[in-house]
């Protein structure tokens, strides 16, 4: 199976309040069998969420479900496998935004 490779960067943008810890940005690489940019574009084109939410929802789902897929025999994921499939099916079935 061909795998797309991505570098994910997480940066805390807000200045912490006094006494709260600061966090350095973290970077990691992740693979996915799908083109995440194409999926984000599809969700954004449906117009159901603002642009940032329409990027974070599929990105979070795809990162999580790829871990599930690569660890499918792990009993930790047994109970959520089918509900996750159902949810993703509903998300894919959402209609496109009406053209203005």
The domain limits of the chain are: 4-93
- Supply the pTM of this predicted model: 0.82
Strands 26-32 and 4-10: antiparallel
| Cross-strand pairs, 7 | 29
Distance of CA 32 to the CA centre of its chain: 11
pLDDT tens digits for the chain (100 residues)?
Answer: 689 999 999 998 877 788 788 889 999 999 999 999 999 999 999 999 999 999 999 999 999 999 999 999 999 999 999 999 999 999 888 887 765 4
Does domain 4-93 sit in CATH 3.10.20.850? yes
Distance in angstroms between the alpha carbons of the first and the last residue of the chain: 39
Which residue is associated with the tokens 């642009």?
A: 51
3-state secondary structure 21-55: CCCCCEEEEEEECCCHHHHHHHHHHCCCCCHHHHH
């Amino acid at each position: 199976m061909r795998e797309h490779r991505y570098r994910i960067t997480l940066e805390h943008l807000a200045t912490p309040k006094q006494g709260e810890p600061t966090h350095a940005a973290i970077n990691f690489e992740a693979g996915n069998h799908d083109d995440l940019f194409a999926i984000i574009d599809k969700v954004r084109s449906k117009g159901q969420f603002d642009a940032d939410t329409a990027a974070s929802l599929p990105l979070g789902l795809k990162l999580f479900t790829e871990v599930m897929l690569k660890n499918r025999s792990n009993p930790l994921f047994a109970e959520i496998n089918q509900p996750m499939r159902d949810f993703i099916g509903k998300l894919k079935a959402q209609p496109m935004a009406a053209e203005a």
